[in-house]
Amino acid sequence: MNKVPHYLLIGNGRVSKHFQHYFQHLGILYSVWSRADHNVQSMNEVVRNTSHVLLLISDSAIDPFIEEYPIVQEKIMIHFSGSYQSKFAVSTHPLQTFNQGLYSIEEYKKVPFILDETGPEFDALFPQLLNKHYTIPRELRPYYHTLCVMANNFSCLLWQKLFSEFEVKFKIPEEAIFQILEKSFSNLQTNWRTALTGPIARKDRKALISNLKSLENDPYQEIFKAFIGLLDT
């Protein structure tokens, strides 16, 4: 009979708290260890009953941590980084953004995981999770993560720019923006290939040049110019 996994979550930050919540709801056994709350001796004690070590710390800290605490190398070691390629731990990147608030359990169940083609099977890493999972070539992981960063964070920065400028310059409340925000993402879900609208979709250069001029002395002018440049590619 296979032994029930017991996870040791290294780190107690945002992502760790999300997965503590998820694991707790599913009845998955886990412990948490962080430098801020524990010492070396406690690490040696807690790792004894651990089968899987989940490193939820910054990319640059993953391998140094494993080298500092070699006892964890006796376990199955996993990290959630989208781009980092560890010498020791395998990557299972959850394709989701995690903010300060916790999500519903149904939302966690829908999070897909991205694994390396040559790595262990998902069932060997998380036998109690039913999340969908996909594999990609290990050497393309940095490019995969770059696409995630651009799509998620760059779009967020643009929306934050709009919210801020509408509030400060035009006194337009944020709730007036929600419908176009929701519809923009709804259009992407319906058909991402045809979701583009406005002068960029029409390739209306006269309108786009006018838009560009309105951004004089604004750092976002270069961003707008770069997007216009994509029309010629």
pLDDT 10s digits, 23-43: 999 999 999 999 887 777 788
What CATH number corresponds to the domain at position 161?
1.10.1040
| Same domain as 76, residue 57 | yes
| Same domain as 86, residue 163 | no
- Residue 1 confidence (pLDDT): 39
Indicate whether 39 belongs to any domain: yes
- Residue 2 confidence (pLDDT): 60
What residue has token string 């390396």? 116
Indicate whether 95 belongs to any domain: yes
- Residue 43 confidence (pLDDT): 87
Question: Does position 126 have pLDDT exceeding 60, yes or no?
Answer: yes
Domain count, the chain: 2
> Across residues 107-117, what is the average pLDDT?
97
Final residue in a domain of this structure, among 78, 106, 136: 136
Indicate whether 25 belongs to any domain: yes
> Across residues 134-158, what is the average pLDDT?
96
Q: Which residue has the higher pLDDT, 37 or 199?
A: 199
> What tokens appear for 85 in the block?
């390629």
Final residue in a domain of this structure, among 74, 103, 136: 136
Q: Are 152 and 99 in contact (CB under 8 A)?
A: no
| Same domain as 155, residue 206 | yes
What CATH number corresponds to the domain at position 42?
3.40.50.720
pLDDT digits (tens, 9 = 90+) for 162-185: 999 999 999 999 999 999 999 999
The set of residues, in sequence order, having a beta carbon less than 8 Å from that of 115 and lying 6+ positions away, is 90, 91, 92, 93, 122, 125, 133, 134, 135, 136
Indicate whether 152 belongs to any domain: yes
Indicate whether 32 belongs to any domain: yes
Please state, as a whole number, how many other Cβ atoms lie within 10 Å of the Cβ of residue 127.
Answer: 13
| Same domain as 174, residue 94 | no
Indicate whether 1 belongs to any domain: no
Looking at every residue in the chain, the average pLDDT score rounds to 94
The least confident of 25-29, 156-160, 228-232 is 228-232
Its pTM stands at: 0.89
| Same domain as 207, residue 126 | no
Indicate whether 210 belongs to any domain: yes
| Same domain as 162, residue 111 | no
| Same domain as 170, residue 64 | no
Which of 91, 78, 193 is CA-nearest to residue 142? 91
| Same domain as 223, residue 162 | yes
pLDDT digits (tens, 9 = 90+) for 39-62: 777 888 899 889 999 999 999 999
| Same domain as 112, residue 10 | yes
pLDDT level of residue 22 (50, 70, 90 thresholds): very high
| Same domain as 217, residue 194 | yes
| Same domain as 59, residue 167 | no
| Same domain as 115, residue 10 | yes
pLDDT level of residue 3 (50, 70, 90 thresholds): confident
Parent domain of 201: 144-232
Percentage of the chain exceeding pLDDT 70? 99
- Residue 233 confidence (pLDDT): 64
Final residue in a domain of this structure, among 87, 120, 136: 136
Indicate whether 164 belongs to any domain: yes
